[in-house]
């Protein structure tokens, strides 16, 4: 059975000469049905394989938030870059959940859970790194040239995945990432539930800890709003900056005065990120 027979079409929309498509598929890694969205630029229509930017969204989001709000497809069409946006967690009636918005469905944190009941489904790290790209590359006219980006919880995921797998990505970027989750309330809650009480295992999913120890460097761009309500307590970009200085990591970190945590911020600077990735994907 070929890969295209393993996915089911949910919606199709033409935009900027390309196609935005939503699909569902049965994930073996997550043990449940999953939905993802893909934007195929017009260049993909002539048989040419195009590179892919994987976008990881934040808490409470799905595959739809970025595709509908970021305004990324005009520039992606110009640059000839496909965009893939997975969901942020497993879904389904038998998938473990929590009453809080920052744990459970919509809050997978892009880790491989080791603790029950979460470990049955919450293997988002393996899904994003391995299963989803394999499916995308077997099904669509895309190459194995990949970049990764994300917002908030997804920014955390993009930085962690990029640094742990530098051979798989040309570049990584983030908007308002949770930079030091081992000390942030969001991270402490999620990591305790998903990974247990051994904080040594938490560091494997902490961008600041990984950047401090890194010996292989990927091009990285981070943008943060200066008026973000979560800046001080949850996001802590100063920890990432300190880690970069300690290891010599070539971090580009820009703080933008007046901007908040919303998609108004993302849509203001997404073009810069796409052009940053295009430069490195073309090398």
Q: Which two tokens stand for residue 162?
A: 């990029």
Do residues 255 and 176 lie in contact, with contact meaning Cβ atoms separated by under 8 Å?
Answer: no
List, edge to edge, every strand of the sheet that includes 220-225. Answer: 7-15, 18-27, 32-40, 82-86, 50-56, 142-150, 172-175, 220-225, 251-256
Q: Which residues pair with 21 in a beta bridge?
A: 12, 38
Positive/negative CA dihedral, 50, 35, 97, 92? negative
Q: How far is CA 77 from CA 40, 73, 191, in A?
A: 8, 6, 38
**Phi–psi pair at 34, nearest 5 degrees:** -135, 155
Residue matched to tokens 């300690």: 246
Count Cβ neighbours within 10 Å for each residue of 169-198 and write b for 16 or more, e otherwise. bbbbbbbbbbbbbbebebbebbbebbbeee
How many Cα atoms are found within 13 Å in the side-chain-facing hemisphere of 168? 16
Q: Which residues are catalytic?
A: 152, 228, 261
Does residue 23 contact residue 10 with C-beta atoms inside 8 Å?
A: yes
Strands 18-27 and 7-15: antiparallel
């Amino acid at each position: 059975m070929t890969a295209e027979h393993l996915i089911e079409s949910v919606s199709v929309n033409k935009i900027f000469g390309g196609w935005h498509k939503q699909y569902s598929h049965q994930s073996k890694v997550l043990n449940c049905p999953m939905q993802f969205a893909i934007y195929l630029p017009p260049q993909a229509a002539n048989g040419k394989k195009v590179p892919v930017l994987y976008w990881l969204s934040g808490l409470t989001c799905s595959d739809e938030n970025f595709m509908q709000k970021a305004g990324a497809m005009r520039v992606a069409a110009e640059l000839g870059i496909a965009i893939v946006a997975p969901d942020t967690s497993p879904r389904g009636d038998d998938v473990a959940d929590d009453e809080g918005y920052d744990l459970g469905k919509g809050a997978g944190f892009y880790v491989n859970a080791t603790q029950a009941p979460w470990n049955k489904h919450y293997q988002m790290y393996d899904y994003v790194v391995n299963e989803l790209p394999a499916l995308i590359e077997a099904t669509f006219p895309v190459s194995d040239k990949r970049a990764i980006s994300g917002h908030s919880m997804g920014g955390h995921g993009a930085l962690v995945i990029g640094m742990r797998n530098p051979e798989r990505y040309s570049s990584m970027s983030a908007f308002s990432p949770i930079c030091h989750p081992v000390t942030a309330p969001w991270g402490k809650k999620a990591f305790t539930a998903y990974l247990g009480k051994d904080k040594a295992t938490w560091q494997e999913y902490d961008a600041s800890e990984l950047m401090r120890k890194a010996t292989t460097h990927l091009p990285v761009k981070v943008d943060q709003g200066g008026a973000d309500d979560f800046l001080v307590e949850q996001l802590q970009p100063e920890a990432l900056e300190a880690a970069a200085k300690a290891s010599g990591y070539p971090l580009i970190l820009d703080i933008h005065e007046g901007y908040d945590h919303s998609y108004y911020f993302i849509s203001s600077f997404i073009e810069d990120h796409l052009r940053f990735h295009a430069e490195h994907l073309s090398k």
